[in-house]
Amino acid sequence: MLEPANAWTQGLDFPSRLFESGSNDYELYEEDGEFVLSVELPGFDPSEITASWNDGVLNVAGEHEDESRGTRRTYHRRFRFPKAIDEDGIEATYRNGILSVRLPVTVENAVSGTEIEIES
């Protein structure tokens, strides 16, 4: 009988969420010349969320304090993009607990780099 993934990874240094299905709190895809990122942040107020763009990396952070329960929730994630983004065209909205960020790709599609030859 097979054991669940989190049972056989328990002694390893891997976060168990890597092996769980459906545990991602975001969705990222590219369509119509732009990247679209949706991040689930239920329970946060828009004023508690920040999104910033710096040198090809989108930072999303949030901090929520519930004084009645004496709890604090924080969120921080960085997203690196493989194509050049039109920084002035980035738009973000927050509705129904979901932060949506639209990042238009510039005409010079690829971020600079060198193609690596693959030997066989």
Distance CA 18, CA 58 (A): 22
Given the structure tokens 């979901």, which residue do they identify? 98
> For the domain with range 26-104, which CATH number is right: 3.40.30.10, 1.10.10.60, 2.60.40.790, 3.20.20.70?
2.60.40.790
Lowest mean pLDDT among 13-17, 46-50, 72-76, 84-88: 13-17
What per-residue confidence (pLDDT) applies to 3?
A: 45
Query: How does residue 1 score in pLDDT terms, banded at 50, 70 and 90?
Result: very low
How confident is the model at residue 108, as a pLDDT?
58
**Distance between CA atoms of residues 13 and 21, nearest Å:** 19
DSSP states of 23-86 as a string? --SEEEEEETTEEEEEEE-TT--GGGEEEEEETTEEEEEEEEEETTTTEEEEEEEEEE-SEEE-
With beta carbons less than 8 A apart as the criterion, state whether 92 and 99 touch.
yes
The per-residue DSSP string of 98-119 comes to EEEEEEEEEEEEEPS--PPP--
> Which pLDDT does position 118 carry in this prediction?
77
